[in-house]
Structure 1
Amino acid sequence: MTPLQAGSFLLRPFIAADAPAFAAGVRESMDSVGMWMTWAHAEYSDEQALSWFEWCDASRADGSAHEFGIFLADGVTLVGGGGLNQLNAVNGFCNLGYWVRASAQRQGAAAAAVGALSRYAFEQLNQSRVEIVIAAGNEPSAAVARKAGATHECLARNRLKLRGLCVDAHVFSMIPA
């Protein structure tokens, strides 16, 4: 698959060689990413990253999700991950998610990834709507959605589950221009 250009960043499918950087990125980001991404934990391993990459490949193959690593322009230095999932074929919309490792936050990677992923959703996957659902209190992620041009639609009650508890979440959307 052709990588996606995202400003000074590049999005591409994960490969096995990315596993150590992915796992290290998760572990270094527990204070920011860990509280919002239930899969993230302080002992996240290379093996867990490889298992995730296998899921990503299988999901891309069956069309149920399109997950990417977010890299510097060199395509080697991993700064995070993002993707499109929960594709609704009947109504033509999907969910967009992202995370950026602590050492690369506040450098524009997430907003650039949102732009590239939404274009991919509209142009390659023929989606008519992209949703970004963000747990209430996750202000950095909400700021990314706004910066990327997403429209805040509502605060939906009990929209997400974090560690088994229902939490309210902001629903942002993007539609083709």
Structure 2
Amino acid sequence: MNFIAGDPILFSIPESFESKRLLIRAPLWGDGEKVNEAIKESIEELRPWMPWAQNIPTVEQSEAEIRRSRLKFLERTDLRLLLFSKESGQFVGSSGLHRINWSARAFEIGYWVRSSMAGQGYITEAVRAITYFAAGGLQANRVEIRCDSRNKRSAGVAERLSFKLEGILRCHTLGADGELRDTMVFAKARGSEF
């Protein structure tokens, strides 16, 4: 598939792929309940970093968000990916390729993990697999990870996977608490980095 030109809606993008321990797939109708359960479990850990995690959504709200994510995946405007344990089938977390620039083939990886699965390397494994997927399957020229400069765990994922810190955007965004925050920008670019 040639990703250099053309309407992205015509691109054939796999619905799923795997890493060693994870099934990584596009959202499907009915996933809202699993995602909602993980958000309820993890709300205190998510709240400082995720603007959408200030309140626990209802199951219906989570399902509506999953359905919107499914439509965006089909439109190729945002490629949300859900992470499931291959061994247990349990929902582990969410990731994906966001802020897509198809003409430059540039993507940003976002991620979160449910609290009971944190610290087990699942997000590092998922981000590695998604980076390879973007570089190979989507012919990415650039993959970014952005995070609040205070979010050491998120920055640690980027550092473990040899993403280069390109800079810190000072007073770049408002945190969930309404205070100005700095944003760290890590990236890999086509060539020697992937």
SS of the residue aligned with 1:39?
A: helix
Q: 2:140 aligns with which of 93, 105, 127?
A: 127
CA contact (8 A) 1:10 1:72 kept: yes
> Which residue of structure 1 aligns with residue 57 of structure 2?
44
Quote the Cα distance in structure 2 between the aligned partners of 1:138 and 1:63. 29
Report the Cα offset of residue 75 of structure 1. 7.3
Report the Cα offset of residue 166 of structure 1. 3.6
Quote the Cα distance in structure 2 between the aligned partners of 1:175 and 1:7. 24
CA contact (8 A) 1:82 1:98 kept: yes
Report the Cα offset of residue 7 of structure 1. 2.2
> Which residue of structure 2 aligns with residue 59 of structure 1?
72
SS of the residue aligned with 1:97?
A: strand
For the pair 1:106 / 2:119, whether they are aligned, the reply is yes
CA contact (8 A) 1:157 1:169 kept: yes
- Return 5+ residue gaps in structure 1 as ranges: none
- Return 5+ residue gaps in structure 2 as ranges: 1-13
SS of the residue aligned with 2:31?
A: helix
Quote the Cα distance in structure 1 between the aligned partners of 2:139 and 2:88. 26
TM (norm. structure 2) is: 0.83
CA contact (8 A) 1:26 1:41 kept: no
Q: How do 1:83-94 residues align onto structure 2 when only pairs under 5 Å count?
A: 83-94=96-107
Q: Give aligned pairs, total.
A: 177
Report the Cα offset of residue 54 of structure 1. 1.2
Quote the Cα distance in structure 2 between the aligned partners of 1:45 and 1:89. 34
CA offsets, 1:73-113, max 9 Å, x none? 14731010001011112322111100001000011111011
Report the Cα offset of residue 17 of structure 1. 3.5
For the pair 1:151 / 2:158, whether they are aligned, the reply is no
CA contact (8 A) 2:94 2:111 kept: yes
Q: How do 1:14-25 residues align onto structure 2 when only pairs under 5 Å count?
A: 14-25=27-38
Q: Which has the larger radius of gyration?
A: 2
Quote the Cα distance in structure 2 between the aligned partners of 1:45 and 1:34. 16
> Which residue of structure 2 aligns with residue 77 of structure 1?
90
> Which residue of structure 2 aligns with residue 169 of structure 1?
183
Q: Over aligned residue pairs, what C-alpha RMSD do you find?
A: 1.8
Query: Could you tell which deviates more after superposition, 23-32 or 129-138?
Result: 23-32
Report the Cα offset of residue 165 of structure 1. 4.4
